Amino acid sequence: MASLLTIYIAWFWTLFLISVSANDVSTGGPSSPFPAIFMFGDSSVDNGNNNYLVSFAKANFMPYGINTSWDPTGRFSNGKMTIDLLGELLGHSYLSSFEMTQTQGSNITWGGNYASAATVILDETGRYLGQRITFNEQVRNFQTTMNKLKATMDDMNLSRYLAKFVGIRESWKQRLHKQLSLSLHALGLRKFLLAAVGPLGCIPNQISRGLFPIGACKDDVNMVILFNDRLKSLVDELNTQYNGTSIFVYGNSYAALMQIIQDPNTYGFQATNIACCGIGMFQGRISCLPFEIPCSNRDKYVFWDAFHPSEAMDKILASRAFNGSTSDCYPINVSQMAIMF
Ligand SMILES: *[C@@H]1O[C@H](CO)[C@@H](O)[C@H](O)[C@H]1NC(C)=O
Ligand SMILES: *[C@@H]1O[C@H](CO)[C@@H](O)[C@H](O)[C@H]1NC(C)=O
Ligand SMILES: *[C@@H]1O[C@H](CO)[C@@H](O)[C@H](O)[C@H]1NC(C)=O
Ligand SMILES: *[C@@H]1O[C@H](CO)[C@@H](O)[C@H](O)[C@H]1NC(C)=O
Ligand SMILES: *[C@@H]1O[C@H](CO)[C@@H](O)[C@H](O)[C@H]1NC(C)=O
Ligand SMILES: *[C@@H]1O[C@H](CO)[C@@H](O)[C@H](O)[C@H]1NC(C)=O
């Protein structure tokens, strides 16, 4: 099933939400401050795009989604994911996957989700898992949506519509800087949330490869810290470069996860190094299989499967992005970003 290397893909990658200027167009739900949110990223934020690909990285079967009232959607979680939960906090409707907007004509007015499991920022990587949607393709898909919107709106309204918000999750700094500046910024996106890479060395799949005491992680975590530092400094650079016209925010999901892994009881968790669903050591060797019976106390697990956080964990990540201090969300949090411009 899922290749051992998936983890680099799952966590080394990018989520952005984007949105757009509020008053001009209908808003993204009952009370959302963002008319639209666009999301780019990997399996930790894919809400079904991979169902349409020939790939091993899939989650459209039970027990994925076991905690939801809907059928398995392709979300790599027992329940809702960070983006769904952040959307709820913002009063924003759930995003349709890009593939659904293409194949089923789902509503794109309030945004879409372009994320794909097994995606990485470099097109060259991730191939061994089969077909996937690379970052460049996600941006191209986004342009397709833009063209659709253009057909229903004049340019002025569209650029106002596109003035608000984006979230992202790391990458090569320069590649990302260029992508953001050229592709996305030029498309009119104005508010960006860039999420840190999670603590790779702590996920059950990595821990299952050695004998680690509880709470310990593999050392390659340190490499991730460097990476995240660069991401944070990219945020500073971009905020200086686009001062007053755009805002970029760094979501420190790394710190939140580490804090909870090191002090689980305070946050109501019991299992930090073992997956709720999966096979082998720490249930981390092989990811959750179709119709496998997962653990029953899912809220006590930081990790749902070998690679991905549980809904309980994602809930914390979403609320810290929404309303956290500067150590969670820098230099401002999403609720502050919502009222800018
Ligand atoms: C998921 O389901 C389990 C078992 O029914 C329950 O204990 C847990 O509270 C649920 N989690 C969430 C986040 O709803
Ligand atoms: C999409 O949603 C918007 C806002 O609620 C609505 O105005 C529009 O008619 C919807 N479009 C479709 C095709 O359902
Ligand atoms: C653009 O927005 C204005 C004001 O909201 C509205 O009156 C107009 O119909 C819109 N144009 C199009 C093509 O949607
Ligand atoms: C943006 O400009 C304002 C006023 O010109 C200044 O106070 C602020 O420090 C600048 N912010 C950044 C991030 O450069
Ligand atoms: C956000 O955080 C502030 C300060 O901690 C708190 O007063 C406020 O109630 C929080 N808002 C929400 C919606 O959680
Ligand atoms: C997050 O932003 C809100 C403004 O919406 C602010 O009141 C709050 O203090 C911030 N939260 C924290 C924990 O700093």
Per-residue model confidence as pLDDT tens digits over 255-269: 998 999 999 999 999
pTM, whole model, 2 decimals?
0.77
Choosing from 93, 109, 110, 152 the residue with most ligand 2 atoms within 8 A of its CB, the one to mutate for a pocket test is 109
* Residues present in the chain in total: 341
Q: 301 has which bridge partners?
A: 271
Given 19, 21, 32, 43, the catalytic residue: 43
Q: Which two tokens stand for residue 317?
A: 């990540």
Q: Are 318 and 307 in contact (CB under 8 A)?
A: no
Residue 134: predicted pLDDT: 53
Cα first-last separation, the chain = 46
**Is 229 among the catalytic positions?**
no
The Cα 179–Cα 185 span in angstroms is: 8
More confident residue, 112 or 17: 112
The Cα 163–Cα 161 span in angstroms is: 6
When pLDDT is averaged across residues 308-324 and rounded to a whole number, the result is: 93
Per-residue model confidence as pLDDT tens digits over 269-302: 999 989 999 988 888 888 788 889 999 999 999 9
User: How far apart are the CA of 157 and the centre of ligand 3, in A?
Assistant: 6
Residue 162: predicted pLDDT: 39
Q: Closest ligand 1 atom, CA of 315?
A: 13
User: How far apart are the CA of 244 and the centre of ligand 4, in A?
Assistant: 8
> Mapped to the 3 state alphabet, what secondary structure does 121-186 carry?
CCCCCCHHHECCCCHHHHHHHHHHHHHHHHHHCCHHHHHHHCCCECCECCCCHHHHHHHHHHHHHH
Is residue 63 reached through a cis peptide bond, with omega within 30 degrees of 0 on the bond before it? yes
Residue 163: predicted pLDDT: 35
The Cα 27–Cα 23 span in angstroms is: 8
Instruction: Find the residues whose C-beta lies inside 6 A of ligand 6.
Output: 323-325, 333, 335-336
The third-level CATH classification (topology) of the domain covering 6-338 is: Rossmann fold (3.40.50)
User: How far apart are the CA of 249 and the centre of ligand 4, in A?
Assistant: 15
Pocket lining: 68 vs ligand 3, CB cutoff 6 Å: no
Question: How many other β-carbons are positioned within 10 Å of the β-carbon of residue 233?
Answer: 12
Res. 237: pLDDT tops 60: yes
Where are the domains positioned within the chain? 6-338
Per-residue model confidence as pLDDT tens digits over 158-197: 434 433 323 333 334 555 666 666 555 656 677 888 887 7
